[in-house]
Amino acid sequence: MPRATLDAIRELTPAIMPSILSCDFGDMKSEVTRLTDAGAQALHLDVMDGHFVPNLTFGMPMVSGLRRHTDLPLDVHLMISEPLRYAKPMVQAGADVLTFHVEAVEDAAFVAKEFRKLGVGVGVALDSDTKLTDLEPCLDFVDMVLVMSVKAGFGGQSFNPISLEKLRLLRDNHPELLLQIDGGMNTETIVLARDAGCDLFVVGSSIIHSDDYSEAFAELDQAIKSATATRGVKA
Ligand code: DX5
Ligand code: ZN
């Protein structure tokens, strides 16, 4: 079932995936409604363990809580030291796509294959200061690469253009992979990312800190459409 969701996500591209990281955690039901009304077609959930990254967010109870309130695909970004330990509980909680960090594991190909057995879409994330070649051993076993355009751990940071070169190389060499970018997205950086061949755009503060989620969403959507290159996964 979740892998069918992955095919649906592929059809949605290019697509904005709002990150709930900067939402009001005391009112998540309303936040999900606001994001859905604004046009969200999937939600990005940032799980942080205070160990792999110096910040703590939430675990399975938030994922299952959101699952009760929405049918949107849940894209879970695991910024945790032991992704394999929590993979199955995350899928049981309702994750459709599960992304682990290549820096967190010894054998990324093994982890990707184990995630696959759970029936979810599998992503591997690359932090902003990690080199692209570190991904090579696992690329045959993942559906998506998440290229971090900030250092993983916090919302509201500035975009690092090193991500663009990584996206270009991945797009050129792996036309079948879904490419996702995360961090510092705004109406300018999202165009650069689309031009570099990106498919999925994680956006936190540009939407959540705006007065009007719909307006922010529409402006970002318009910016994606204004990109000159459209070298996405479907192109
Ligand atoms: C950062 C998270 C992001 C974060 C992005 O480690 O992975 O998903 O929410 O937030 P903005 O868009 O504010 O950079
Ligand atoms: Zn994220």
Query: In this predicted model, what pLDDT tens digit does every residue of 59-118 receive, in sequence order?
Result: 999 999 999 999 999 999 999 999 999 999 999 999 999 999 999 999 999 999 999 999
Distance 147 CA to ligand 2 centre (A): 10
pLDDT value at position 1? 57
Q: What percent of the chain clears pLDDT 70, i.e. is strictly above it? A: 98
Q: Which atom of ligand 1 is nearest to the CA of 55?
A: 6
Cβ proximity of 194 and 227 under 8 Å: yes
Cβ proximity of 123 and 98 under 8 Å: yes
* CATH number 3.20.20.70 given to 2-224: yes
pLDDT in tens, 170-221: 999 999 999 999 999 999 999 999 999 999 999 999 999 999 999 999 999 9
pLDDT value at position 158? 98
Smallest-distance ligand from the CA of 157? 1
Sign of CA dihedral 229, 230, 231, 235: negative
Query: Which residue's alpha carbon is at the smallest distance from atom 12 of ligand 1?
Result: 204
The pLDDT of residue 150 is above 60: yes
Q: How far is CA 198 from CA 66, 148, 169, 176, 191, in A?
A: 27, 12, 11, 12, 10
CA–CA separation, 187 and 5 (whole Å):
27
pLDDT value at position 233? 87
Q: Which residues are catalytic?
A: 46, 182
Residue 229: pLDDT band by 50, 70, 90 thresholds? Answer: low
Domain ranges of the chain: 2-224
Is the beta carbon of 149 within 6 A of some atom in ligand 1? no
Distance 228 CA to ligand 2 centre (A): 26
Is the beta carbon of 198 within 6 A of some atom in ligand 1? no
User: Which residues, 6+ apart, have CB-to-CB distance to 183 below 8 Å?
Assistant: 128, 148, 149, 150, 152, 157, 159, 160, 163, 202
Q: Which atom of ligand 1 is nearest to the CA of 202?
A: 8
Distance 126 CA to ligand 1 centre (A): 14
Smallest-distance ligand from the CA of 153? 1
Binding site for substrate, residues? 19, 77, 153-156, 182-184, 204-205
